[in-house]
Amino acid sequence: MSVVSTRESSFRLVQYETLLDGLERTGHDVEYQCKSGYCGMCRVKILHGDVKYLEQPLAFVAFDEILPCCCIPVADVMLDCVLRDEFRVELDQQELFPMQQNLFTEQELAHDSQNKSPAQTKRRITRDKAKRTASEFSLDLF
Ligand code: FES
């Protein structure tokens, strides 16, 4: 399975996912409407790699653009795409508390992931551990 890289992240598509589905799942800021290749709203610049269209799109695209709603990568691709603000906050927290990132255990993630997405789980655990650390150092961050 090909690796999809963006300006701030990288991921792999899961089975039956289009590029747009993968970008949405991983918190990227991509607008869309039809999800069928008609409107062109999801247009994204492709910086490297190649894609295959699942159905021939009707919307216009420049030579360096793709419509992620109706294609999948045929090799590793790099897209000119950034994360939504709420996902960027999570990255900022990781930079503020780098030691916290090594404190996740598989048990914590597995236990909590039954009702929440991995991103929600990781965000909650990060926030809880950051609060604990802040209270240890008498910091009033939250
Ligand atoms: S969402 Fe309309 S072309 Fe992709």
Residue 116 has pLDDT above 90, yes or no: no
In a domain, 114, yes or no: yes
Sign of the dihedral defined by the CA atoms of residues 114, 117, 122, 123, in that order:
negative
3-class secondary structure, 129: helix
At 127, is the pLDDT very low, low, confident or very high (cuts 50, 70, 90)?
Answer: low
Q: How far is CA 102 from the centre of its chain?
A: 20
Q: DSSP string spanning 79-96?
A: E---B-HHHHHHHHHHHH
Residue 30's domain comprises 3-79
Give residue 99's identity as a one-letter amino acid code: M
Same domain, 117 and 68: no
pLDDT exceeds 80 at position 77: yes
In sequence order, the 6+-apart residues with CB closer than 8 A to the CB of 85 are: 29
Residue 108 CA to ligand 1 centre (angstroms): 38
Q: Are residues 119 and 66 in the same domain?
A: no
Centroid of ligand 1 to alpha carbon of 91 (angstroms): 28
Domain assignment of residue 141, yes or no: no
Percent of the chain beyond pLDDT 90?
Answer: 56
Same-domain check for residues 7 and 69: yes
Residue-wise pLDDT tens digits, 40-49: 999 999 999 9
Q: With a 6 A CB cut-off, is 69 part of the ligand 1 pocket?
A: yes
Regarding whether 70 and 12 lie in a shared domain, the answer is yes
Instruction: Indicate the pTM of the whole model.
Output: 0.65
Q: Are residues 14 and 75 in the same domain?
A: yes
Assess if residue 142 is contained within a domain.
no
φ, ψ for residue 46, nearest 5 deg: -105, 125
In a domain, 18, yes or no: yes
Largest CA-CA distance found in the chain, in angstroms, rounded? 59
> What is the count of structural domains for the chain?
2
